[in-house]
Amino acid sequence: MSSRTETSKTPEFGLSGRKIIYDEDGKPCRSCNTLLDFQFVTGTLKARGSGNSSASPVADSTQSPGSGELAAGAATDISNTSADQPLLIPGSKTYSKSGPADVEELGRSSWTLLHTIAAKYPNKPSDTQKQEMKQFMTIFSHVYPCGWCAKDFELFIKENAPKVDSKDDLGRWICAAHNEVNEKLGKEKFNCDLWKKRWVDGWD
């Protein structure tokens, strides 16, 4: 349980109307909240269409959840007027006719998942957590829904056992795995010294 004290700087609800999720250290959880709510609660949300430049990006914590939902709904209404709006599936007001994920979409989503798992991994994991993470990576390489991608990742694991002794070890290991794929695809490698900036702390 967090010992965080509720103040006007740590509102309970975000602009979406959802309850803000905080980490054990009292900071907003980056991967647990919507981007809108995270920017709102951290004071990094830029007001649009407002002539009051002195208005605080962090609103009164007593704001009702419904008012946040209205704000989100207003944004949705604006986006729905776009001429490029995709066709919706029969009987739905929100779900578009998106096709199955291709290898690029699958890859982007999967790397996002793996990097974010590392970002939330403990700095000092227990023996059980270490074992579970090793098992997860092995299973992931077996069930990944792209045959050749799965084989490549499985081979990488055999040649480079998952480093699970700390958050930083795991984050750098996943970064190295990602860079091996980047190299095969002729893409620029990411500087793994910056992995926490990208996936944990954010950029200044």
Q: What are the structural domain ranges in the chain?
A: 1-79, 103-201
pLDDT tens per residue, range 63-122? 333 333 333 343 333 344 445 566 999 999 999 998 888 888 899 999 999 999 999 999
Predicted TM-score (pTM) of this structure: 0.67
Contact 55, 49 (CB under 8 A): no
pLDDT of residue 178: 98
What is the per-residue pLDDT for 76? Answer: 37
Extract the tokens encoding 202: 């954010």
Q: 111 — phi, psi (to 5°)? A: -65, -35
Q: Which of 111, 131, 128, 115 is nearest to 168 (CA)?
A: 115
Q: Assess if CATH 1.20.120.310 describes domain 103-201.
A: yes
Per-residue model confidence (pLDDT) at position 154 = 98
Per-residue pLDDT of the chain (204 residues; tens, 9 = 90+): 444 444 446 889 999 888 998 988 888 887 788 888 888 998 888 654 444 433 333 333 333 333 333 333 433 333 444 455 669 999 999 999 988 888 888 999 999 999 999 999 999 999 999 999 999 999 999 999 998 899 999 999 999 999 999 999 999 999 999 999 999 989 999 999 999 999 999 998
Q: Are 166 and 124 in contact (CB under 8 A)?
A: yes
